[in-house]
Amino acid sequence: MNTRADQLPSQSLSQPTVATAPGKVILFGEHAVVYSRPAIAVPVTDVKATATISPGEPGSGVWILAADLPAPDGEPGGHRYRLRDAPADDPLRASVELALDAFRHGEPAGDILVTITSTIPIARGMGSGAAVATAVVRAIGRHFGHDPQPDEISPLVYEVEKLHHGTPSGIDNTVVAYARPVFFVRGRGITRLSVGAPLNLVIGDTGVVSSTRQVVGDVRRRWSAEAERYEGLFDEIGALARLAKSAIERGGPKAVGRLMDENHELLMTLGVSSPELDKLVETARMTGALGAKMSGAGWGGNMLALVEAGRTPTVADALQAAGAVSTIFSQIS
Ligand code: PMV
């Protein structure tokens, strides 16, 4: 890891170090992005993960307090554990250890408590895992006197994402670490995406928890059995992401909305939508959204509606009446 000219003096243990990271949604190209087609994702700053490094008991070593995240064994949040007692594949342990290896430069880790809180819904396609890991890596770096840059954070978070998802494309760690809209192609780094006119999104949560690993695995099985058909679908989705990039850059929300509708149809054909997602997408369209689609791995989680400014409360109310357990409004600019 590079030592940068902007190194900060090591933080005093008496001063907590705090870092945050936003949630995210995928606007175009989920699943196809795993097969190297382009995708577009944007940060959602209305929700966030926060990591705080504070002094621990003398001689205690490194402890983790996951204030509102489930425990490694699936128990609900509020648990506190010693780093070295957690399973090696615990994502919080991995985040802390990767950051310590990268940033402590031979200094002892010391006696610290890493407290993690998050307002990002878990397992709903909003990048909760990537955001928690990003906040932890950023906070540990700062604690050891170095404010890590997105290009340093993203590869470390990718390693943690592998524990969550198996074979992630890398889009989540990228959009969350850079905290800006990205046009992403696996293995090629990011292309900056400028947003010509603000995009008003209503994000509707089906309340259905879904495992990205399972959905991605299911698509892979079907792709293995019928490669030609699925490659064709991925090509179509990738083409939509390219068209969407131009539409977003020139500030054409109507075109972006139409492309979202088309992307949703292709995700239905891919077999990753669900009755709950389809109902919310249909409701958003009937209430005047410019376009709507599921977002993330699917089978549950969130959908997105692109709406004209001023219509967001109407669409949000309709989504709640149609079964959304919560709605988030986010303006992307
Ligand atoms: O559900 P999420 O936010 O973890 O998104 C998964 C996106 C996929 O394209 C389905 C997988 C990936 O690694 O990109």
Give the span between the Cα atoms of 210 and 172, in whole angstroms.
16
Residue 7 predicted with pLDDT over 60:
no
Q: What is the mean pLDDT of residues 164-172?
A: 89
Residue type, 117: T
Beta-bridge partners for 24: 43
Can you spell out the DSSP letters for 221-232?
HHHHHSHHHHHH
Q: Which atom of ligand 1 is nearest to the CA of 32?
A: 9
Residue 89 among the catalytic residues: no
Residue 2 predicted with pLDDT over 50:
no
Cα distances from 282 to residues 26, 137, 156, 200, 316, in angstroms, run: 19, 39, 38, 18, 13
Q: Which atom of ligand 1 is nearest to the CA of 216?
A: 10
SS3 51: strand
pLDDT at 67: 77
Give me ligand 1 centre to Cα 168, in Å.
Answer: 7
Give me ligand 1 centre to Cα 296, in Å.
Answer: 5
Residue 73 predicted with pLDDT over 70:
no
The per-residue pLDDT for range 134-161, each reduced to its tens digit, is 999 999 999 999 999 999 999 999 999 9
pLDDT at 78: 72
Closest C-alpha residue for ligand 1 atom 14: 169
Phi-psi sector, 73: left (phi>0), alpha (psi -120 to 50), beta = alpha
Give the span between the Cα atoms of 54 and 73, in whole angstroms.
25
Poorest-pLDDT segment among 40-49, 98-107, 150-159: 98-107
pLDDT at 75: 60
Residue 261 predicted with pLDDT over 60:
yes
CB 307 within 8 A of CB 131: no
Higher-pLDDT residue of 8 and 282 is 282
Closest C-alpha residue for ligand 1 atom 5: 296
Residue 34: how many other CB atoms lie within 10 Å: 22
Query: Residues of the chain with pLDDT > 90: what percent?
Result: 81
CB 160 within 8 A of CB 144: no
Mean pLDDT of the chain: 91
Closest C-alpha residue for ligand 1 atom 4: 125
> Residue 79 contacts by C-beta under 8 Å, 6 or more apart in sequence?
65, 66, 71
pLDDT at 3: 31
Q: What angle do CA 227, 219, 224 make, to 5 degrees?
A: 30
Q: What is the mean pLDDT of residues 114-128?
A: 89
107 pLDDT band, cuts 50/70/90, is: confident
Residue 250 predicted with pLDDT over 60:
yes
C-alpha torsion sign, points 76, 304, 189, 49? negative
Higher-pLDDT residue of 121 and 19 is 19
Give me ligand 1 centre to Cα 170, in Å.
Answer: 9
pLDDT at 124: 80
CB 138 within 8 A of CB 53: no
Poorest-pLDDT segment among 60-69, 74-83, 86-95, 320-329: 74-83
68 pLDDT band, cuts 50/70/90, is: confident
Give the span between the Cα atoms of 228 and 310, in whole angstroms.
44
Structure tokens at 206: 């089906």
> Residue for token digits 């054409």?
252
Give the span between the Cα atoms of 299 and 23, in whole angstroms.
19
**Lining residues, ligand 1, CB within 6 Å:** 26, 30-31, 33-34, 125, 127, 165, 168-169, 171-172, 212, 216, 296-297
Give the span between the Cα atoms of 333 and 322, in whole angstroms.
28
Q: What is the best residue among 24, 25, 26, 173 to mutate for testing ligand 1's pocket, by most ligand atoms within 8 Å of CB?
A: 26
What's the distance, CA 236 to chain centroid? 24
Give me ligand 1 centre to Cα 190, in Å.
Answer: 16
SS (HEC) of 137-195: HHHHHHHCCCCCCHHHHHHHHHHHHHHHHCCCCCHHHHHHHHCCCEEECCCCCEEECCC
Which candidate in 6, 172, 235, 317 is catalytic?
A: 172
The per-residue pLDDT for range 190-240, each reduced to its tens digit, is 888 999 999 999 999 999 998 899 999 999 999 999 999 999 999 999 999
> Residue 52 contacts by C-beta under 8 Å, 6 or more apart in sequence?
16, 17, 18, 114, 115, 139
Give me ligand 1 centre to Cα 222, in Å.
Answer: 17
